[in-house]
Amino acid sequence: MAEHSPRRFTPQAQEALASPVIRQNFRGAMDYLRKARSNAFSDPVEADAVLAKAEAVRRRCLSQLPALLETLEQRCTANGIQVHWAETPAEANAIIRALCQREDAKLVAKGKSMVSEEIGLNKHLAGLGIDCRETDMGEFIVQLDGDRPSHIIMPAIHKNKDEISATFEQHLPDFEATRDVDQLIAAGRQALREKFQAAEVGLTGVNFAVAETGTLCLVENEGNGRMCSTIPRVHIAVTGIEKVVEQLSDIAPLYSALTRSATGQAITTYFNMVSSPRRPGEWDGPEEVHLVLLDNGRSQAFADDELRQTLQCIRCGACMNHCPVYGRIGGHAYGTVYPGPIGKIISPHLLGLDDAGELPTASSLCGACGEVCPVGIPIPALLQRLRVEAKHGASAGHPPLKGQGAKANRLEALAMKGFAWLARHPRCYRAGTWLARRLAPFYPRRLGAWGQCRVTPKPAPKPLSQLLKEQRRV
């Protein structure tokens, strides 16, 4: 599969738009997920109450983030969970690599973890001869294909049943082609079963980390997260620093908002709570539990009161499911781990505006993403803020973002300054509009990329000020 990059967003989006298979696969999936979410929040009064509570929890916990992280470390350590801090993906990979090498691990069974995608863990461990095997069914399918996830909760959503059957036929022994979903799932589970038993290390993500009790919460539907966190001798949980919440009671509203927004479920099949390694007398569970907390640009977002709202995200994917841009081009076109609206506001912090500065412009600003966000992230407003930051230097009182002003264009800036000058000098402005009307017949028929889907503008025969004067005379 070709390597995608956020720097090549436009040609990648054009390529996706030209694929009828991608458009059909995403159209059907998005329609299904949107209907499921709508049914899950059928009572608007109850929905408003749940979502308001979830938003309030995330805001409160983020406002205390440094203190809560210290408390989380203390509680986890007291429970026997070893806590590791990583500022960059390289540091996180080094920590996990050292733990795997200490165990002489050849196989790591990995549950769903977007942070592990963020740090490129599979590729890193593969370079050391360690097989990091995906056990989430969607992740398993894309890994077999050498593909990448295209959705944060449904990684293989860009594939249809025929494509998945072809993948299994190519990689799984004795598999017979089928379009039956149950048979496809059964074949995948059978192939994964032995991996759980053989893995020396299990790795998962974390949906919520509770500071009050030192508990790591994992939300899933397949049971693979539970097996990754209980069967291997060592369990490594990796997550971003923003996932910490203050109290165990904070989990209920977040859990309700997450599952209903993501898949339309009132509750998922599994909800795992990891509070310690196996204790004396217990029959199962890992002998060691490690928690890796990753920053990777999150502190930059946290330092700004407005951009901090980005960290409220609970990774439900609802903004993607309702985005008209994502629904047409899919996830790969963005060239980032986190696609869609949430990816457009978080990737600039992780990668810098020089790499991801084009993504905030990939939006019609229709507002659908902000309306369906269960924790009230004002995504359209943050997109506009990042557009400004990508074009200009840091304003007074704000530290520069990574890649600040990387998308500045001298010609564009000169044009805007020229317009600003004209707008402040009425006589020159009137002379300019008079000249623009006279030159209208000579306007080029094509205005580059801007004109591909737009009609060339034609100046009105008379300016508004003249029309008003004529109206007053009548």
Rounded-to-integer distance, Cα 459 and Cα 463, Å: 9
pLDDT (0 to 100) of residue 398: 86
Cβ atoms within 10 Å of 334's Cβ, excluding its own: 28
Half-sphere exposure (CA, 13 Å, Cβ side) for 324? 6
How far CA 154 is from CA of 142, 230, 312, in Å, comes to 11, 24, 21
- Measured CA to CA, the distance from residue 262 to residue 274 in angstroms comes to 23
**Domains of the chain, CATH where assigned:** 43-300 (3.40.50.10420), 427-472 (no CATH)
Q: Kindly report the pTM of this predicted structure.
A: 0.90
Q: What's the rounded Cα separation, in Å, for the pair 373 and 375? A: 6
- Give dist(CA 93, CA 109) in Å, integer: 16
What length does the chain have? 474
- Of residues 6, 14, 1, 86, the one with CA closest to residue 337: 6
| Per-residue model confidence (pLDDT) at position 448 | 77
Question: Which pLDDT score is estimated for 1?
Answer: 52
| Whole-number Å distance between alpha carbons of 219 and 267 | 9
CB neighbours (10 Å) of residue 291?
23
pLDDT in tens, the chain (474 residues): 557 999 999 999 999 999 999 989 999 999 999 999 999 999 999 999 999 999 999 999 999 999 999 999 999 999 999 999 999 999 999 999 999 999 999 999 999 999 999 999 999 999 999 999 999 999 999 999 999 999 999 999 999 999 999 999 999 998 999 999 999 999 999 999 989 999 999 999 999 999 999 999 999 999 999 999 999 999 999 999 999 999 999 999 999 999 999 999 999 999 999 999 999 999 999 999 999 999 999 999 999 999 999 999 999 999 999 999 999 999 999 999 999 999 999 999 999 999 999 999 999 999 999 999 999 999 999 999 999 999 999 988 889 999 999 999 999 999 999 999 999 999 999 898 889 888 888 888 777 777 777 888 788 888 888 899 899 987
At 407 the pLDDT is 94
What DSSP letter does each residue of 230-243 carry, written as one string? Answer: HSSSEEEEEEEGGG
213, 275 in Cβ contact below 8 A?
Answer: yes
Strand ranges of the sheet holding 244-245, from the earlier edge strand across to the other edge = 244-245, 208-210, 215-220, 270-274
pLDDT in tens, 13-68: 999 999 999 989 999 999 999 999 999 999 999 999 999 999 999 999 999 999 99
Q: Looking at this protein, which amino acid is placed at residue 92?
A: A
User: What is the pLDDT at residue 460?
Assistant: 87
Q: E-assigned strands of 201-253? A: 201-204, 208-210, 215-220, 234-240, 244-245
pLDDT at 194: 87
Q: How many CB atoms lie within 10 A of CB 332?
A: 21
What is the per-residue pLDDT for 231?
95
Model confidence over 420-460: pLDDT tens digits?
999 999 999 989 888 988 888 888 877 777 777 788 878 88
Question: What span, in angstroms and rounded, lies between the C-alpha atoms of 106 and 126?
Answer: 10
* Residue closest to 99 by CA, chosen among 350, 298, 286, 241: 286
